[in-house]
Amino acid sequence: MAANSMLGSSLVKKYWMALTGLFLCTFLIVHLAGNLQLMGGDAAREGFNEYAKFMTTFPLIKITSYLLYFSILFHAFDGILLTIQNRKARPVQYAYEKPSANSIWASRNMGLLGTIILVFIVTHMANFWARMHWGEMPIDVNGNKDLFTVVMEFFRDPSLGVVFTLVYVISMIAMGFHLWHGFSSAFQTLGINHKKYNKIIKSVGYGFSVIIPALFAVIPVYIFLTK
């Protein structure tokens, strides 16, 4: 394949990675806002279950969910292809090369970090989303599926609750590193690259990559500690 078309295809891949990645960032904000209700104690049960019902049945949100699943798969698949392509482009590392001198650890390990996040999402969806859609669910006083209780019991499981909580915290650390590089990199790839705005975009990206995963990690820790 000509060098030009290789470059072209890798640029196109990066473009789609950036678009789907930023869409997934907006999902994280919405998902976090909904999940914060899980720290409201028993009083939050019926409200959270009503919210979960709305999110799984309202037609416009259902359509957005399909776009979300597609984006997760596309972002992951494209990321794997890009990682392989980058490795092939430089099969032998230069002996004198010192990567840490010109790039941060996260940017050199986006494939690894992304894989950890993908494994997290698949197991996470198997535990909650798949059960909510097709599994056996307790029912609350309003007749809604009691997702609130399912989440509480998951992180408060007498033997595995501590493991699940730790896995969530570790996954959120990986997500933080992934976003630390990915957020501002996406804007660069999309060509939103101006002296005046670069500093702001970087700062927003660093803030996002610390605050969002940290808040996600607090939720299971809080549930586990308040059993």
Owner of token pair 């101006």 = 194
- The total of other beta-carbon atoms located within 10 Å of residue 114's CB is 22
The DSSP 8-state label assigned to residue 96 in this structure reads T
- Only one of the segments 11-19, 51-59, 103-111, 185-193 lies at the binding site for ligand HEM (rule: CB under 6 A); that segment is 51-59
Please name the residue ranges forming H helices in 36-160. 45-57, 59-89, 105-108, 110-124, 130-134, 147-155
174 contributes a contact to ligand HEM by CB under 6 A: no
Spatial separation of the C-alpha atoms in residues 209 and 175, rounded to whole Å: 8
Draw the binding track, 30-49, toward ligand HEM (x: CB under 6 A; -: no contact). -x---x--x-----------
Count, residues near ligand HEM per rule CB under 6 A:
22
- Using the minimum distance from each CB to ligand HEM, give the nearer residue, 1 or 60: 60
137 contributes a contact to ligand HEM by CB under 6 A: no
Spatial separation of the C-alpha atoms in residues 122 and 169, rounded to whole Å: 16
Spatial separation of the C-alpha atoms in residues 50 and 61, rounded to whole Å: 14
201 contributes a contact to ligand HEM by CB under 6 A: no
Q: How far is the CB of 193 from ligand HEM (least distance, A)?
A: 27
Residue pair 73/24 in contact by the 8 Å Cβ criterion? no
Draw the binding track, 96-135, toward ligand HEM (x: CB under 6 A; -: no contact). ---------------------x---x--xx--xx--x---
Here the tokens at position 109 are 């390990």
List of residues contacting ligand HEM (CB under 6 A): 31, 35, 38, 52, 55-56, 65, 68, 117, 121, 124-125, 128-129, 132, 147, 151, 168, 175, 216, 219-220
